[in-house]
Structure 1
């Protein structure tokens, strides 16, 4: 059974039930992230969240290392996973995202993002974190999420 048949139909956070990512969730309904990823996440026993994906050839640049844009797209997705509890039922947009590239990532590596909410209040959530490739740091990031009201048009 393919992953596509292991996720439910529709949009939103969907539990993966089979394969390498069984027990993880995936956000269905963001066309860009679906093309760039897929990215997976789960809540850990300590209540924190982790995001991950497996590096594929399509994620690499001309030199054979993961494209910086791919790492930043993943970090952008991860700030929302890390901030899930602080966001509650709110939707949000990335107000600011910065990253420091530390080392290259390669095909086949497990890419993971972990972090913490530094401050959350009102409509703004500040997040910091680290992306690793097989446990080695490859990107340090800081992000600011702005909560927004309303629904997608």
Structure 2
């Protein structure tokens, strides 16, 4: 599927086969993330996961830098990619998300997020990560996810 076909469609995680995002996947069924990003994700050969999107003019604030709310929205999406294995067959909701802005992101830059689960047990998952713009750290974040039940099939 091309990246243009994926955006706005209904459904689950689908692979992108053409364009800049070939080899990545995106969540078709999350209309908010599609409009905010769209955000893409993939699993690397080492098992780590990365989430990314390309910064566009619509993501910028009045000063021409990426809006902080856009970065936090991206981090909120990224924590679920980072916690995929810990979530298993459960859905989750964000209980807490904190971020420290480190630098400005600009239009055209590749925004990526990586991280780790620092603790998981029962219904609670703790995540920390960093978002970068063309490799420069722009946001560090920590989050707590609460599992809320099995995923619908």
Q: 1:6 to 1:96 in 2, by over 3 A?
A: closer
- Using the TM superposition, give the Cα deviation of residue 85 of structure 1 relative to its aligned residue in structure 2, in angstroms: 0.6
Residue 84 of structure 1 corresponds to which residue in structure 2? 84
1:56-102: per-residue Cα shift (whole Å, max 9, x none)? 00000000000000000000000000000110110010000000000
Q: 1:151 to 1:47 in 2, by over 3 A?
A: closer
Partner SS, residue 139 of structure 1: strand
8 Å CA contact 1:6–1:17 kept in 2: the answer is no
Residue 12 of structure 2 corresponds to which residue in structure 1? 12
The ranges of structure 1 where at least 4 consecutive aligned residues each deviate by more than 2 angstroms after the TM superposition are: 1-7
Partner SS, residue 81 of structure 1: helix
Q: 1:2 to 1:22 in 2, by over 3 A?
A: closer
Q: 1:57 to 1:140 in 2, by over 3 A?
A: same
What are the ranges of 5 or more consecutive residues in structure 2 without an aligned counterpart? none
What are the ranges of 5 or more consecutive residues in structure 1 without an aligned counterpart? none
Partner SS, residue 75 of structure 1: helix
Q: 1:139 to 1:22 in 2, by over 3 A?
A: same
Query: How far apart, CA to CA, are the structure 2 residues paired with 1:128 and 1:113?
Result: 10
Query: How far apart, CA to CA, are the structure 1 residues paired with 2:109 and 2:134?
Result: 6
- Using the TM superposition, give the Cα deviation of residue 10 of structure 1 relative to its aligned residue in structure 2, in angstroms: 3.6
Query: How far apart, CA to CA, are the structure 2 residues paired with 1:42 and 1:151?
Result: 20
TM-score scaled to structure 2, two decimals? 0.93
TM-score scaled to structure 1, two decimals? 0.93
Q: 1:2-151 residue pairs with structure 2 within 5 A?
A: 3-5=3-5, 10-149=10-149
When the two chains are superposed, the root-mean-square deviation of aligned CA atoms in Å is 1.7
8 Å CA contact 1:130–1:137 kept in 2: the answer is yes
1:15-51: per-residue Cα shift (whole Å, max 9, x none)? 0010000010101111211110100000011111000
User: Across the two proteins, how many residue pairs are aligned to each other?
Assistant: 151
- Using the TM superposition, give the Cα deviation of residue 4 of structure 1 relative to its aligned residue in structure 2, in angstroms: 3.0
